[in-house]
Structure formats: C-alpha cells, structure tokens
Structure 1
Amino acid sequence: MKTIPIIYENNEILVINKPFGLSCQGGQGVVHSLDEDLSKELGYKIFLVHRLDKDTSGLMIVAKDSKSASKWTKLISSKQVKKEYNALCVGKINPVKGVIEEEIFQHGESKNAITKYEVIKSWQKDFIVDLNKTVLNFFQIKLELETGRMHQIRIHLSKMGCPIIGDDQHGNFKVNKIIKKELKIKQLMLSSIKITLPIDGVNREFSIDIPDYMKICSI
C-alpha cells in the first residue's frame, strides 16, 4: 500500500497528492484504491468529491464527512475550484496557446468540453528506429479545465495532434512504443499540479512540482 501525501487539511477536507497507478475508488479487481487506502491510514472514512484517472497523479480533494462532501462537490460543479495540470506530449500543436472546445461522447451522448492550454516548453529528441533516424517533437503543456469530462485532457490533446506520452488509450501507439523502449517510460505523463480552493472567503492555492518520472522525460 502506497503512503498518500497530505498537502493540506482542515475540518472539512484534505488536499492530497495521489500517486500514479492508484485508482480513486475500489471495485472488482481493484486491489488498492485511494478511498480505501486513505481511510485505513487515517482511521476514518473519507469521501470522494472528484476523481483523477488511475494513471494520472497529483492534487485532489477528499472530504472528511458526507456533509462536507456534498458542499465541495457543489463548489467543484459551480467552478469555484480551479485545477491546473501539466502534460508531456509528442507530435504537433498549433497554436501554442488556446482553448479547445470540442464535444466528448460519453454515456451515449455528446457533452460539451472545454480545455485551456499553453505550451510552456518544447524540445526535440532523435531516435534510431530500424536503422533510420526519427525526430520527435516534445512539449510540456499547462492545462486548465472548464469542464470535467472523463479523459477530457487526453482526448482533446489527441485530437489536436499532440497526444500525451504514455497514453495507451488515446495516444500515438507507435510513438509510445519508441519512447517506452528508448526512455524507459511506463507512466502516463499527466499530473494535477495546482488547485485553488475557496477557504474562509479567500482563494487559497496549493501546488506541487511535476513528478520525477516526468522530469526524466523532459531532460
């Protein structure tokens, strides 16, 4: 069981740093999950108010009781909670800053989805594949969600032609294979690094650095 770092705590919520590879919620075939593992660590039941994908690491909120969970779920739905992500991507992206507004098909219907993005770093790496030189364009991208659809960032960046490295569902599978072999990367290169919360009438910002496995990729 992985220890789950706590970044902030008050009488209603915890801001935690979810590790890569940990599901938020237990279920069939899930050995470890955030809700169960953290509840065991703390000695009391915690309540999820939003989720991150299993393979996405970083900051998220959990509530200490059902009343607080209801309150913070509503705050998130009303967009009073701001979340910022960093992703490492490969491909092409133009323009380098903008807003992606493209519907995502979920649960049998199309839903509005809006993602703000900005390239904050770009670089190239050369690889030898089957005796031929292959040049890949890499980008570190800052992202903010206006909506919270499942896999929204992953889907939007893929449709822009710049999928997230290590994304085995929406990414470039051929390129992922090269990168995994040459750079020894196994993780999805996406992390929630900043969250801004309305606490006691003031917006409080909590942030972390990108995880070490993302730093290795960006060298």
Structure 2
Amino acid sequence: MKRLPDEWEGSFVETVVPASQSQWRLDRYLSETDLPVTRSRIQRWIRSGAVSVNSVVVEKCGHGVSEGDVVAVTIPETPPSTAEPEPIPLDIVYEDEALLVVNKAAGMVVHPACGHAHSTLVNALLHHCGSLEQFDDPVRPGIVHRLDKDTSGLMIVAKREDAHAFLSRQLAERRIKRGYTGLAWGRFAEPSGTIDAPVGRHPRFRQRMAVVEENRGRRAVTHYRVSESMEDGSLLALALETGRTHQIRVHLAHLGHPVIGDPVYGGRHKRLAGTAPRRRPKLKKMLDVLRRQALHASELEFIHPFSGRPHSFKATLPDDMKQAVVMLSDSTCTTGP
C-alpha cells in the first residue's frame, strides 16, 4: 500500500470538478486528482465520512459528481501502531492480579490515537504494570471500556487476557453497571426519566454524534434522576443501559439540557448566551472554572473474573465539578424539579 506523506496527514484538500469529469463516480474522480493514495484507500475515506460534496458529507463511492461541484477531503491521520510506557501518575482505586480500577482524570485520553500519541492512560498503565505488553492489541491493551478525554471517573482495566475476555463479555451483556454524575443546563420537567433514542454519526458534522433515525444509528438508552435542581442547572445521577459514543452528552442535548461546559453539544458559550443577563456574569465565572464537560463516571459495579464476587466502587466529584455545583447553587435551589 502506498504510504501517504506525513505532511498530508490531517490536512484538508478541496477541489472543483471540471466539465471534462462531470458525471464521474466520486471515487474515480478523486483517484485522478493529486492525492498520492490508491483508489481503495479513497473508497475507505468516503465510507468513513471524510469526503463532502458542496458541504454535504457523501458516503457512497458511486456518487456522481457534476461540473462545478466542490469536493472536500479531510485526510485522516494514521493512528499510532504501538504505545510506549511513560511515568505518568495514576489514581488507582483498586488493584489485584487480574485487574485495576482507575479514577481517570479529566483531560487524559484513554489510548493513543491520531493527535494523541503520548501521555495517555495506556502509556501510564504500561509503565505501572508491564504485563499489559502481552496483549495482542498494542495500542489498547487491557482496555475494557472507554471514557471521553474530558470525562473523568472510574474505568476497569484488565491485566490478563482471560480477565479481559470475561469483563468484555459482561460489558456486551450489559451486566457491568456504570453510573455517572453530571451537571446539565436548566430545570427538568420530571424528577427522573429514560431517554431511548438511537445515536449515530451527525449527518453533516462527522466528528459529532447525534440522535438519528433508527436505520442510521444504534439503539441508545440513558436513565437519569435529578438529584438537585437549581435556577440555571440540575445535578443529575445517570445510568447507561447502552454505551454509545458521547451517549449521555448527545441524549441530554437532545432533551434541550446539554451538559454544562460541553463545547461540542451546545453546553458552553452557546448556552451561556441564552441565560438571563443578570445571571450571566456568575455563570461565566463558573465556566472559567469548569474547562470541560461536567460529567464524571462516579459508580462502577461488576463481577470479578476470578472470584465471581460482585465488586462495586464509587468516586467522589473532582474539584472543578464541586466548585461548579457551589457556584450554581443559591437560595432558590431545591431538591428535585
């Protein structure tokens, strides 16, 4: 396979279809441009949502282009093939010969990926316990489930292949219980509820997820309970029945209550602009403290792969979320909506 030159990776290429190539297939048209890659790789890019025609993402290789069409390609970066040990501090809640439970800090990426080759949780784990190097996956050794970069909280990491297989099976069978604490904008009409709405790639903005039609996404179920209701926001206890990418963030935004601090799903400056002017300075100070989405994986329960006994763990809110709760609270706050 032809290797893409390093200087091309992560770049954005835009071309205009000439009259001589009108009605060509999209993949054929791009293969005749200056992109130094094979047609098969271009087809993979198209199917992954990296190509747009006139600002609309097109995922069909056989899409016909017309004269004057603007075809844009966001060239994917090549992900790292290995991870190296790095001496990064870890907050280890529990550890034995089979697994670890880690309280991941906000801002830490779980495993090496495009744009994040170093300083990830996996790099830290490889330094802490070298036995992870025996896993077949050199980039995600022992990882059972993931958290977004700016979501903090509890994660299970397997130290052995048999433990990883057991825990992954539990996760697939929805027997691992994962509880979250979050802050969302606004007051909820009901004290608790269930959001059952399919989640898939956003039809136009491919780096985001969205609630989509059933045939374009996967079933996603989130349960929530209002722990405290304040004038501008609500403290929530959340539980995942499924584990889709950005699920809680997408579901709460879909309800009109985005996670506070979330810049991707309308929970930061966009929402701040819609608040009462008298409250805005205080809320802006809160967002200055809370530099990420206010979401924390606070509870975890699973069956141990060797003992067969249930294990449960809780992690208190990190300081930035504690401060945000205090700044949201005032004399009008109540319990429940």
Query: Which runs of structure 2 are paired with 1:39-54 in the superposition (5 Å)?
Result: 39-45=126-132, 46-54=141-149
Structure 2 residue 284 is the aligned partner of structure 1 residue 181: yes
Asked if residue 22 in structure 1 is aligned to residue 131 in structure 2, the reply is: no
Residue 104 (structure 1) aligned to one of 174, 199, 222: 199
Q: Of the candidates 61, 74, 84, which is equivalent to residue 169 of structure 2?
A: 74
Matched, 1:32 2:119: yes
1:154 and 2:252 equivalent?
no
In structure 1, distance between residues paired with 2:255 and 2:109: 27
Aligned residue number for residue 299 of structure 2: 194
Distance across 2 between alignment mates of 1:202 and 1:22: 30
Cα distance in 1, alignment partners of residues 283 and 121 from structure 2: 27
**Structure 1 residue aligned with 2:314, among 202, 207, 212?**
207
Question: What is the match of residue 258 of structure 2?
Answer: 163
TM superposition shift of 1:96 = 2.0
* Higher strand content, 1 or 2: 1
SS at match of 1:153: helix
Contact 1:84-1:192 at 8 Å conserved across structures: yes
The 3 A distance-change label for structure 1 pair 107 and 165 is closer
Equivalents in 2 of 1:212, 1:188: separation in Å? 13
Q: For structure 2, which runs of at least 5 residues remain unmatched after alignment?
A: 1-86, 133-140, 204-215, 274-279, 327-337
Match status 1:10 vs 2:96? yes
Of residues 32-41 and 113-122 in structure 1, the stretch that sits farther from structure 2 once superposed is 32-41
Alpha carbons of structure 1 residues 176 and 43: separation in structure 2 relative to 1, 3 Å: farther
SS in 2 for 1:120: strand
Q: Counterpart of 2:92 in structure 1: which amino acid?
A: I
Inter-partner Cα distance in structure 2 for 1:84 and 1:196: 9
User: Residue in 1 aligned with 2:137?
Assistant: none
The answer to whether the 8 A contact 1:92-1:161 is kept is no
Q: 2:300 is aligned with what amino acid?
A: I
Aligned to 1:142: 237
In the alignment, the residues of structure 1 paired with residue 161 and residue 119 of structure 2 have an alpha-carbon distance, to the nearest angstrom, of 22
Q: For residues 150 and 61 of structure 1, what CA distance do their matches in structure 2 show?
A: 17
In the alignment, the residues of structure 2 paired with residue 180 and residue 110 of structure 1 have an alpha-carbon distance, to the nearest angstrom, of 35
Structure 2 Cα separation of the partners of residues 175 and 186 of structure 1: 15
SS in 1 for 2:321: helix
Please say which of residues 146-155 and 158-167 is displaced more in the overlay: 158-167
With the length of structure 1 as denominator, give the TM-score of the two structures: 0.87
Q: What stretches of structure 1 of length at least 5 have no aligned partner? A: 125-136
After TM superposition, the structure 1 stretch with the greater mean CA deviation from structure 2, 177-186 or 40-49, is 177-186
Structure possessing the higher relative contact order (Cα contacts under 8 Å, 6 or more residues apart): 1
What does residue 66 of structure 2 align with? none
Supply the distance in 1 between the matched residues of 2:130 and 2:99 (Cα, whole angstroms): 15
Question: What displacement does 1:141 show?
Answer: 0.3
Shift in Å at residue 67 of structure 1? 2.4
1:96/1:119 contact within 8 Å kept: yes
Q: State the structure with more CA Rg.
A: 2
Alignment correspondent of 2:188 = 93
Contact 1:50 1:61 in 2 (8 A): yes
1:26 is matched by which residue type in structure 2?
A: P
Q: Is the 8 A contact 1:105 1:111 kept in 2?
A: yes
Q: Which residue of 2 aligns with 1:84?
A: 179
Question: Across the two proteins, how many residue pairs are aligned to each other?
Answer: 207
